[in-house]
Amino acid sequence: MRLGVPARTTAIWLILILASFLTWWLGTNDSRDQLSDRVMIAAVIVIAFLKAYLVGMEFMEVRGAPTVLRALLTGWVGLFAVAVTTLYLA
Amino acid sequence: MSTGHTPTANVFFTMYYVLTGIHLLHVLIGAGLLAIWSISLKGRRSFTASQRLTEGIAVYWHMVDLLWLLIFPLVYLVCAA
């Protein structure tokens, strides 16, 4: 039986899995250099928010939702990505 | 917890247990919703009648997933580094 899963959804699912491996590697990798460690952890935070954005857009189907909902998701992810990254680096 | 990682040990573990505890509550709500959905399937209603409930529960579960995508790196990767 062919399940009606769009190729786009499958592609985003694969991107999310690859992003998970990348953040795991970035989060557990010790470069013995404090500055690059901080940059890598900041990247972990940014990638996590990008993943949340993709889940919201694709799997929670906000992509096809009214503009106000799309704006709310984009604004929420953007605001907290900037806030958490700034608080971490500060 | 036997090694002293209790909710009152320090600020990190207070936040850790609050975050993961609230997330567990969401998971339990999601499991309850799935149980309700499963029972409603036995009512032999048409798919159209239960479509909103089904899709609502699916979107709710994706939201729980979305939150974990943020909670996990923050408490397991960022704080450990």
Comparing CB atoms, the residue among A27, A37, A56 nearest residue B73 is A27
ipTM given for this complex: 0.82
Comparing CB atoms, the residue among A41, A51, A59 nearest residue B78 is A41
Residue B5 lies in a domain: no
Residue B73 lies in a domain: yes
Residue B1 lies in a domain: no
The answer to whether B80 and A27 are in contact (CB under 8 A) is: yes
Residue B43 lies in a domain: yes
Is the confidence at residue B23, as pLDDT, over 90?
A: yes
The number of folded domains in chain B is: 1
Mutate to test the interface with B, among A9, A44, A69 (most CBs of B within 10 A): A44
| Alpha helix stretches (DSSP H) within chain B | 11-41, 47-72
Comparing CB atoms, the residue among B62, B69, B80 nearest residue A51 is B69
Residue B66 lies in a domain: yes
Residue B60 lies in a domain: yes
Is the confidence at residue B28, as pLDDT, over 70?
A: yes
What is the SS3 assignment for B38?
helix
What is the C-alpha to C-alpha distance for residues B46 and B51, in angstroms, rounded to an integer? Answer: 9
Range of the domain at B70: 11-80
What is the C-alpha to C-alpha distance for residues A62 and A3, in angstroms, rounded to an integer? Answer: 22
Residue of A34, A68, A48, A82 lying closest to B81 (CA atoms): A34
> One-letter amino acid identity for B48?
T
Residue B36 lies in a domain: yes
Per-residue confidence band for A1, with pLDDT thresholds at 50, 70 and 90: very low
pLDDT one-digit tens code per residue, A3-46: 678 889 999 999 999 999 998 888 777 767 777 888 888 999 99
Residue B4 lies in a domain: no
Give A55→chain B minimum CA distance, Å. 6
Per-residue confidence band for A2, with pLDDT thresholds at 50, 70 and 90: low
pLDDT one-digit tens code per residue, A47-89: 999 999 999 999 999 999 999 999 999 999 999 999 999 999 8
Mean pLDDT value across chain B: 86
pTM to 2 decimal places: 0.85
Mean pLDDT value across chain A: 89
